[in-house]
Chain A
């Protein structure tokens, strides 16, 4: 045990329970939890607009905080959303209408509780089936998106939520299969063991099929181009979020970025080796901050690649997207599972 933790423990009266509660709350609410996610989402929004603007030969966000290239644009948008009027349509089902954006965000953030970002400070729930639990929790979130569309009583929202439901089914299954095939590969569902076993080769090289399948599935699940189909503006206005306004709209729009953050965190832990090459340090700085920063950098790279695709692609039609999901991505995920099984049970990979 090192100095800082001792100090914190002393302050809290050496009570293990209170200590874990404080650490857990901090983990979930501040870093790498809620506040970090909000900051990351706002910066990601700015980065997306800036990168896309670069391709499109224009400036992108510029005037808010001009000296740093408009980086505060996302926060300005957030403030604007917060002070706008929230309009509740008369014919909507009020309680689900109001609750579902918040619940969707809640279930998108909750998987953080299972996912470590450093070897030293453990996540609030350290479980040996953490990977499975994280996937299970995050796959609850789309239900609330469907609920949003249903509760809005708007035809466009209804069509949008049906699209979301269809697409989620056809892309979450390949995602789950390809992620779990990595579980087979590592013979473990515990994030710590998963990261540890990538010390020689990262997971994306051990099983490139799984990486590809889960990356494509991640693009769809987080509504990135070319799969931004459930919110397609020129077809169904804003999809499930059509009737939302003010902060509620901000929440619904931020939802995709929050999910992107969490999915990218999962991908960077499972495929990119988490905080490796930092092996293990002691203390808050070398045991928590530096490893977590490495995780955040890997996560950011994944996110930036995902948002960059907006500049390249249009959107697929829904039947094309579903066909791609069930034929190509699903097949790829099955291949990745078979690959893992062959490698592990054929004796090519042996974990000590």
Chain B
């Protein structure tokens, strides 16, 4: 189901926030002297790169203000002063755990400007890497979530099992985290011959581990008690606040860019979008686990359906010099022809959106015909989810703040850009 965009007006948001703030700030005005203001962050073991200002009445939080922007790095402005190619590694930096979807989004916008479409094999390779990154990103999120609840085994397992997928991505792209694998018109290199076998081995291992995960983390009585009925996000609130990603799907709205507006090879692959109705922290954790399972399906399916052929658009391959051609034919690696250094897409603007690990990311690229973008606008999922702190946390206990923080998988550098 796609959210009806007309129903989300600014007025509705204002009304909602007024109502919620009135409800929840009542304590602030009436019992102002009883409240303690706690500054959680920016140097707090449970805050990440942000500050959360909470006002507590006893143990109950009556007001919560997320204060973001501590790791703001002017990515959008920086990209206006660089050639198009140099922005590829730049868009990876803010969300280091979830890099490939971001590069895919940027490159898709750029390809739309240039009017080229990558060959099918490149699309499949991009999809596989994006799904590997999604699993790694979810495992990271679950690990952090676990340690927020004091569950150190979940933390260590999350990081340990993430290593599998980071290592697979390393085999495919040659880097562990910042792949810069996606380039205009294709991908940097083809997959090695042993790759499908290694993927199958890793996936099988991880599938064997999943029951342990459920036993130790999701079905753990303490974890369940901490997460059920905590931070409930209702369906219409989620739609009005513009929440995205697994957090939205845990509130019962089945919206995924991979289905709604398929990019790369997603329209040819077989998968479903897990949805939960409860909207509480437990549902959000559950949806992440189910998404990992779906990602495993996608990777298997993509490897099975992998078409042969080129990994770079023939228009770009034509510009290779003899040495580049030799390298491409021998080891299936793409060396950048000189044209990439002075890539000048025709005048115009393009948008692209992708489903990153934490939700929908929107890319908007304006070209004025020069080698540098005129404007690059980028909305990240974490930025859209940050507002949840304000609405989900009040009314809960102080101990629920980490539980809610972990459950929305908020990643400050990604939000700040």
The minimal Cβ–Cβ distance linking A306 to chain B, given in whole angstroms, is 15
Q: Are B151 and A317 in contact (CB under 8 A)?
A: no
Q: Is A311 an interface residue when CB atoms closer than 8 A count as contact?
A: yes
Q: Are B398 and A236 in contact (CB under 8 A)?
A: yes
Given A234-B148, A316-B226, CB of A56 within 8 Å of CB of B153:
yes
Q: Are B160 and A57 in contact (CB under 8 A)?
A: yes
The minimal Cβ–Cβ distance linking B154 to chain A, given in whole angstroms, is 8
Complex Cα distance, B146 from A311, in Å, reads 12
Complex Cα distance, B407 from A190, in Å, reads 52
Complex Cα distance, B215 from A313, in Å, reads 11
Q: Is B303 an interface residue when CB atoms closer than 8 A count as contact?
A: no
The minimal Cβ–Cβ distance linking B29 to chain A, given in whole angstroms, is 21
Q: Are A312 and B401 in contact (CB under 8 A)?
A: no
The minimal Cβ–Cβ distance linking B161 to chain A, given in whole angstroms, is 9
Q: Which of A58, A155, A317 contacts B399 (CB 8 A)?
A: A317
Task: Give the contact stretch, choosing among A11-19, A22-30, A198-206, A222-230.
Answer: A222-230
Given A57-B160, A314-B222, A315-B222, CB of A232 within 8 Å of CB of B153:
no
Q: Are B157 and A317 in contact (CB under 8 A)?
A: no
Q: Are B152 and A56 in contact (CB under 8 A)?
A: yes
Q: Are A318 and B399 in contact (CB under 8 A)?
A: yes
Using Cβ atoms and an 8 Å threshold, which residues of chain B touch A233? 45-46, 150
Q: How large is the interface on A (under 10, 10 to 19, 20 to 34, 35 or more residues)?
A: 20 to 34
Which residue on chain B has the smallest CB distance to residue A158? B36
The minimal Cβ–Cβ distance linking A97 to chain B, given in whole angstroms, is 20
Given A58-B156, A155-B36, A318-B59, CB of A313 within 8 Å of CB of B220:
yes
A-B contact count (CB 8 A): 85
Complex Cα distance, B397 from A228, in Å, reads 16
Which residue on chain B has the smallest CB distance to residue A320? B225
Using Cβ atoms and an 8 Å threshold, which residues of chain B touch A141? none
Using Cβ atoms and an 8 Å threshold, which residues of chain A touch B147? 234
Complex Cα distance, B147 from A147, in Å, reads 28
Using Cβ atoms and an 8 Å threshold, which residues of chain A touch B151? 313-314
Type the 1/0 row for B143-186, where 1 means its CB is closer than 8 Å to any CB of A: 00011111111101100100000000000000000000000000
The minimal Cβ–Cβ distance linking A288 to chain B, given in whole angstroms, is 39
Type the 1/0 row for A118-159, where 1 means its CB is closer than 8 Å to any CB of B: 000000000000000000000000000000000000011011
Given A56-B157, A315-B222, A318-B397, CB of A155 within 8 Å of CB of B38:
yes
Q: Is B400 an interface residue when CB atoms closer than 8 A count as contact?
A: yes
Kindly identify, within residues 300 to 329 of chain A, every residue whose CB is under 8 Å from any CB belonging to chain B: 310-320
Complex Cα distance, B217 from A314, in Å, reads 9
Q: Is B71 an interface residue when CB atoms closer than 8 A count as contact?
A: no
Q: Are B399 and A311 in contact (CB under 8 A)?
A: no
Q: Are A235 and B401 in contact (CB under 8 A)?
A: yes
Q: Is B20 an interface residue when CB atoms closer than 8 A count as contact?
A: no
Complex Cα distance, B285 from A314, in Å, reads 15
Complex Cα distance, B181 from A127, in Å, reads 76
